[in-house]
Amino acid sequence: MLPISVHAQAKRAPTAADAKAFIASAEARLTELALRANQAGWVAATYITDDTEALNAEASKNYAVAVQQLALDARRFDKVKLSPELRRKFTLLRLGLAAPPPGNPGEAAELTRITTSMEADYGKGTYCRQAPKDSTRASTGGAAGSDCLQISELSRILVDSRDPATLLDAWQGWHRVGAPMRQRYARFVTLSNKGARELGFADAGAMWRSNYDMPPDQFAKEVDRLWEQVKPLYVALHAYVRARLVQQYGPRVVPANGMIPAHLLGNMWAQEWGNIYPIVAPQGAAPTYDIGALLRAKHTDVKGMVKYGEGFFTSMGFAPMPATFWERSQFTKPRDREVVCHASAWDIDDRDDLRVKMCLDVTTEDFITAHHEIGHNFYQRAYKDQPFLFKGGANDGFHEAIGDAIALSITPSYLQQVGLLDASAVPGPEADIPLLLRQAMDKVAFLPFGLLVDKWRWQVFSGETTPASYNKDWWDLRARYQGVAPPMARSEADFDPGAKYHVPANTPYMRYFLARVLQFQFYRAMCQASGYKGPLHRCSFYGSKEAGARLNAMLEAGQSEPWPETLYKLTGSRQLDASAITEYFAPLKTWLDQQNAGKPVGW
């Protein structure tokens, strides 16, 4: 039986006071459920077993069902006149889930089982190259034996090997992990769309695009506008890298005027190309430093790498991480159990229980990853005093950009300041092109991939891409935006999107594209705040309290206002702008155009 007060409310028109009481109750309930879900999720990611998977599924389902039910109940306040702050909370409540469960309890439980099982299968994914004749496969069950490789080991092959056959074997071995998910993913799409439609959205993709303080179609046009700003730089980089790969492997492996085979770019998804920098380094250029080698020379362990990330923030006036961060985080892959190695940052209690989950090695790439993940934690702590529904990034791209904006400040002068690089080893202006090229191989190369993952999912959710063309449409988008091709024949028996963590984990990906844009905007603004004068790519604001104060003003606002207003606090602009990327890489673009003169450009 419903309480008398609820019956009474049902008989009269709801008021602003009713709405305020509803949101207060909702935030209290979600705070408790989020804590339970975070705790279960942490254990499931760091101790993969059938039991932890089941516990995580139950806690995730309870949270998701509560959000969905509250969002549905909240629709009775749609026509009530509310303050902007309260109305914003109702809007964010509707947008609180990446995969809103249907109202039907059985379907809600099914959706949760599917999502947790796909993520667990990804985490356990194994390619057994020398197994018995009937079991050479990408497996999702059992621990990897001596003849079997998981994603970290397969990725290492793509970094270290220069043999096309070895690279192809590792690439195709990992990409087998997606195929068993295909039918479950199709069912996941159906259930997610049903939940989104119950909340009033056209489909789950439209719901994702509604999370940016503008209509969904306008947001789609906005990201296209940003891509057009940076596309000429990417196309120039692609042409240069392709030409050098032709020199390395020959035109029979790499077409001189076509797409680049995906297994040759040093990354399992060809999303960042920095691992093949030695192949494309300018001939005769002064040697650049390797941060991983500098760290190893100082006997820095993986926890020490994370300490450098913390130290950058504290130099700007932020308080250090709490002791529990160092006690409870996972920095390396345990030897005694399976874990999800994909790096992530956690705010378990929405207050002070901050953690990272990573499987780090002492490398340049992981040094950047450590800065990226701890950047999430500093952001999470900055907005901890906001109400529950405002505890989040101004938009999801903000959250991804913070640590990377700090990492852009890892310049030679910064490395000298923290004692990693001797003054005599600091490269002069003659090293600018090699350093910018090395940066572009990750930062610029990523841009089209960051865009296309969700463009594919938007098509899937809308029905434009059906299960019959999942793989074809995936590679069509990769051809259109990246100029990258599969290294072997693919068919609809494959499900290559499933070999990318964010697809089975259902993590929206456009945030990473936005983060690539925002991190340069943030970086330029903090350089200006620090008083730096000079070429943008040489700036470091390490130690600048003024830059830290401006950054903190943006971070502590959380999601309490439309993101353009939050952006203004740091940058003085209310518009996303990729011009900071083109300014940063302007010397490189000039050099790339010179190298590409008379050679094929485009694909």
| Cβ 595 vs Cβ 283: under 8 Å | no
User: Which tokens go with 229?
Assistant: 């700003």
Q: Which residue has the higher pLDDT, 3 or 317?
A: 317
| Long-range pairs of 88-94 with CB within 8 A, sequence gap ≥ 24 | 88/390, 88/560, 88/561, 89/23, 89/27, 89/387, 89/389, 89/390, 90/19, 90/23, 92/389, 92/390, 92/392, 92/559, 93/23, 93/26, 93/67, 93/389, 94/199, 94/200
Whole-number average pLDDT of the chain? 92
User: Which tokens go with 193?
Assistant: 């769309």
Residues in Cβ contact with 539 at an 8 Å cutoff, skipping those fewer than 6 apart:
409, 411, 523, 527, 530, 532
Q: Is residue 92 one of the residues assigned to a domain?
A: yes
The average pLDDT across 407-413 equals: 89
Per-residue pLDDT, 12:
80
Residue with tokens 């087998």: 176
Q: Which residue has the higher pLDDT, 545 or 141?
A: 545
pLDDT classification of 364: cutoffs 50, 70, 90: confident
Q: Is residue 367 one of the residues assigned to a domain?
A: no
Q: Is residue 135 one of the residues assigned to a domain?
A: no
pLDDT at 595 exceeding the cut of 60: yes
Per-residue pLDDT, 153:
92
CA gap 535, 80 in Å, rounded? 52
Per-residue pLDDT, 474:
98
CA gap 53, 308 in Å, rounded? 34
Q: Is residue 111 one of the residues assigned to a domain?
A: yes
pLDDT classification of 136: cutoffs 50, 70, 90: very low
Per-residue pLDDT, 544:
97
Per-residue pLDDT, 9:
53
Counting the structural domains of the chain, the total is: 1
User: Which tokens go with 66?
Assistant: 């509560």
Q: Is residue 421 one of the residues assigned to a domain?
A: no
Q: At what angle do helices 16-46 and 84-94 cross, to 10 degrees?
A: 40
pLDDT classification of 11: cutoffs 50, 70, 90: low
The average pLDDT across 226-230 equals: 98
- Residues 389-409: tens digit of each pLDDT: 999 999 999 998 998 899 899
The average pLDDT across 35-62 equals: 94
Q: Is residue 540 one of the residues assigned to a domain?
A: no
- Residues 315-358: tens digit of each pLDDT: 999 999 999 999 999 999 998 888 888 899 999 999 999 999 99
Q: Which residues are catalytic?
A: 342-343, 372-373, 376, 400, 502, 512
Q: Give the total residue count for the chain.
A: 603
| Cβ 110 vs Cβ 135: under 8 Å | no
Q: 44 is in which domain, residue-wise?
A: 15-117
The average pLDDT across 33-58 equals: 94
Per-residue pLDDT, 68:
87
Per-residue pLDDT, 2:
42
pLDDT at 143 exceeding the cut of 80: no
Maximum Cα–Cα distance across the chain:
82
The average pLDDT across 571-581 equals: 97
pLDDT at 427 exceeding the cut of 90: no
Per-residue pLDDT, 117:
93
- Residues 234-291: tens digit of each pLDDT: 999 999 999 999 999 999 999 999 999 999 999 999 999 999 999 999 987 766 678 9
pLDDT classification of 527: cutoffs 50, 70, 90: very high
Per-residue pLDDT, 333:
92
Percent of residues, the chain, with pLDDT higher than 90: 83
pLDDT at 19 exceeding the cut of 90: yes
pLDDT at 133 exceeding the cut of 60: no
Q: Is residue 193 one of the residues assigned to a domain?
A: no
pTM to 2 decimal places: 0.88
Per-residue pLDDT, 286:
66
- Residues 57-98: tens digit of each pLDDT: 999 999 988 998 999 899 899 999 999 999 999 999 989 888
Per-residue pLDDT, 10:
55
Q: Is residue 35 one of the residues assigned to a domain?
A: yes
